[in-house]
Amino acid sequence: MAEKIDELSNKEKKLLKILGENKKIDAETLAGLTTNLAISHNPTRKACENPLPKDKTTAILSDFSVLNESNQKIFENLQKLNAPTLKAIENLQKLNAPTLKAIENLQKLNAPTLKAMENFQKLNAPILKAMENIRKNHLKSSIPDIKLDLENIISTVDTQELTKTLNDLSVSQKMITDFWVQQAHLLEEKKIAKVERIQTSHYTLTDEGKEYLNNGLPERQLLNRFDEKIDIKQLKKFDLSNVGIGWLRKKGWVTVKDGIIYKLNENPPVGTDETVLKQINDGDSIFDKDTVIGLIKRGLVKDEPTVKNVLSLQDHYQNETFEELDIESQNKIGTLTRKQIISGAWKNANLRRYDVTKLPKKAYAGKIHPYQRIIGEMREILLEMGFTELYGGIVQQSFWNFDALFQPQDHPAREMQDTFYLKETLPLPKGYEKVKAMHISGGDTSSTGWGGVWKEEKAEQCVLRTHTTSLSIQYLARNPNPPVKAFAVGRVYRRETIDTTHLAEFEQLEGIVMDENVTFGNLLGILREFYNRMGFESVRFKPSFYPYTEPSLDAEVYVDGIGWIEMGGAGVFREEVTAPLGVKYPVLAWGLGVSRIAMLRLGLKDLRLLHKSDVAFLRETPSLREIKGGI
């Protein structure tokens, strides 16, 4: 065991002595408490060369010796403070890691910044209140009030310099933290220390959550807008009705009968969601977790997790203090210079020992995001199969997004609860009367249409496209004669509650094939070929229903350990869709969710991870995949 310890580098020995004294400490706190030391030639790592002194008060005060002349004067003033003030400094060191980090940052600031910090009493009320709360909650009555008599300072501070200094401090702090974690991992490989990564949730209100905290949740605001009852059409004219009405019914505050909304409770008590919003805003840490999850889904609360790396000794070293551990005054040399080799100085140098069986540090090359690579792979497969790619804007007219696809104007999918409507409108295209006639009576076909009323103003409304089929139908209108073989892949938008499998915006891939003799069997073959090339060997189909295709189907693929997974829908466009466009031949059509394929291919369980900047995930995901395929 002693031989193993002797072979450690100086940096590893220093961490070992710290752990021998403290047994367990998180890297962030360690970075905040270790300063004024030099490692190699890197001044930003000064904090890492000496072990943490037992007398932490002395350690903090001794750091002032390296500050500039202005800071040195502050140090001299500190030494003249009376005993209660020194006691206050000692208490400050016992605060949690964020507070310690703030203290460390204050000691490193340049002279103008120090002057600004000393003038904290001039800052606005919220900051003063926060500082007072910290004093009351953490320091209790053991620290006397210290009033600083500094005026006209803030107005003279160079705010750009202040911002730059704070940013530099943040970067330095992270580098020091990473250094200690790196040394701990080296000790972990030698079975001496261990690193425990602890992630904790930190909940904050979104801008929308703050607004509802001040003004009330949408459902409560709507409830206060009427007395005993109101016509639902009248209530929909109010702001927030597209969100609030659903929650009024869900909470049981109202009931709806014959288009009239009746109050069931004149003044319902404050709900747990309203209580939790206030608790989170006040900084409480104890609240109903299920309610928080619900508020996150509503977009009123966000989770900003924090990660701590806790460093400690392995169990068989827990009783060791390492007080007698010898730290060499001369650092070991890991890389020889040309001068050392020519002069022969390397012969007497303190060379670092190398383990030739140890793998080198990984090198991570830049690469395209895994999700974008999968989209690119889909595009490449379809282009190789002879398809033409379509492009179009995300803002589409309701006529092309809904009406031209024979979707009735009173269809639930066209409600504001499901679609993002814009205030802009566009004039209807030439020949729209044929689509109107198809909806009302079936036009010149055997269909009877949907009946009822078809409103031009509703078809003129613009929306964020809910599917990319709006591009395909416009392409068919411009190219009514065969052959047509086209696809589109792009982002679409729907009012979805965000969770592990749903997002409000996501990518969709869809395609069409139109020719004289194409059949339903051709559609099955195209889908099977595509999924095989994407790496799914087992594909099956089952009957389904879609408003603008007949017959219709759902495609499923088999995934080991999960089973059969639905991937998308397909079918043959109905006569009500193609006839108004002048298309006289069968049109095969399909659509699928790109993100679902990506989740399966990347082994993800949460759809949101596709859009999260997780460096480890990006680095470890393979760049290339051997394409299997063909039927």
Strand residues in 18-94 grouped as ranges (E)? 24-26
- For residue 333, the number of C-alpha atoms closer than 13 Å in the C-beta half-sphere is 12
Mean pLDDT in residue range 579-593: 92
Which CATH number belongs to the domain containing residue 392 in this structure?
A: 3.30.930.10
Q: Which residue has the tokens 């989770």?
A: 303
> Does residue 167 sit in the same domain as residue 254?
no
> Does residue 464 sit in the same domain as residue 570?
yes
What residue numbers bound the domain in which 490 lies? 370-620
Question: What is the chain's mean pLDDT, rounded?
Answer: 77
pLDDT at 40 over 50: no
- Of 526, 518, 535, 516, which Cα lies nearest the Cα of 598? 535
Is 218 within a domain?
yes
- Of 370, 389, 431, 456, which Cα lies nearest the Cα of 581? 431
Position with higher pLDDT, 202 vs 142: 202
Is 325 within a domain?
no
Reported for 471-475, long-range contacts at CB under 8 A and 24+ positions apart, including other chains, are 471/390, 471/391, 471/392, 472/390, 472/510, 472/511, 472/512, 472/589, 473/400, 473/404, 473/405, 473/577, 473/581, 474/392, 474/400, 474/404, 475/390, 475/512
The answer to whether 437 and 404 have CB atoms below 8 angstroms apart is no
Neighbours of 410 (CB within 10 A): 11
Is 1 within a domain?
no
Mean pLDDT in residue range 589-595: 90
- Of 557, 560, 556, which Cα lies nearest the Cα of 603? 560
pLDDT at 84 over 70: no
pLDDT value for 68: 37
> Does residue 274 sit in the same domain as residue 417?
no
- Chain segment 444-458, per-residue pLDDT in tens: 888 888 888 899 999
Burial of residue 448 (CB within 10 Å: 0-12, 13-18, 19+) is exposed
pLDDT band at 71 (very low <50, low <70, confident <90, very high): very low
Neighbours of 276 (CB within 10 A): 22
Is 245 within a domain?
yes
> Does residue 454 sit in the same domain as residue 388?
yes
Give the least confident one: 43-47, 135-139, 263-267, 444-448. Answer: 43-47
Position with higher pLDDT, 252 vs 623: 252
pLDDT value for 39: 37
Calpha distance 425→459 (Å, rounded): 9
> Does residue 229 sit in the same domain as residue 98?
no
pLDDT value for 401: 92
- Chain segment 314-367, per-residue pLDDT in tens: 887 877 777 766 665 556 677 888 998 999 988 888 777 777 787 777 788 888
> Does residue 121 sit in the same domain as residue 169?
yes
> Does residue 459 sit in the same domain as residue 606?
yes
Q: How far apart, in Å, are the Cα atoms of 242 and each of 222, 233, 292, 338, 410?
A: 11, 11, 22, 73, 16
Is 68 within a domain?
yes
> Does residue 482 sit in the same domain as residue 404?
yes
Is 15 within a domain?
no
Calpha distance 63→57 (Å, rounded): 10
Tell me whether strands 563-573 and 484-493 are parallel, antiparallel or unpaired. unpaired
Mean pLDDT in residue range 167-189: 74
- Chain segment 388-397, per-residue pLDDT in tens: 999 999 999 9
Please name the amino acid found at residue 95. Answer: L
> Does residue 275 sit in the same domain as residue 385?
no
Is 405 within a domain?
yes
SS3 assignment, position 448:
coil
pLDDT band at 630 (very low <50, low <70, confident <90, very high): very low
Domain boundary among 303, 328, 344: 303
Is 13 within a domain?
no
Q: Round to the nearest angstrom and report the end-to-end CA distance of the chain.
A: 61
Helices and strands in the chain: count of H runs, count of E runs? 26, 18
- Chain segment 459-506, per-residue pLDDT in tens: 999 999 999 999 999 999 999 998 999 999 999 998 887 877 788 888
Number of structural domains in the chain: 3
- Chain segment 264-283, per-residue pLDDT in tens: 888 888 888 999 898 888 88
SS3 assignment, position 397:
strand
Sequence length of the chain is 631
> Does residue 69 sit in the same domain as residue 151?
yes
Domain boundary among 189, 219, 241: 189
Contacts of 615 (CB under 8 A, 6+ apart): none
- Across 18-32, 35-49, 114-128, 237-251, the highest mean pLDDT is recorded for 237-251
DSSP result, 601-625: HHT-S-GGGGGS--HHHHHHS-S--
Domain boundary among 303, 332, 357: 303
> Does residue 469 sit in the same domain as residue 596?
yes
Mean pLDDT in residue range 606-619: 80
Neighbours of 100 (CB within 10 A): 20
Contacts of 356 (CB under 8 A, 6+ apart): none
SS3 assignment, position 126:
helix
> Does residue 514 sit in the same domain as residue 549?
yes
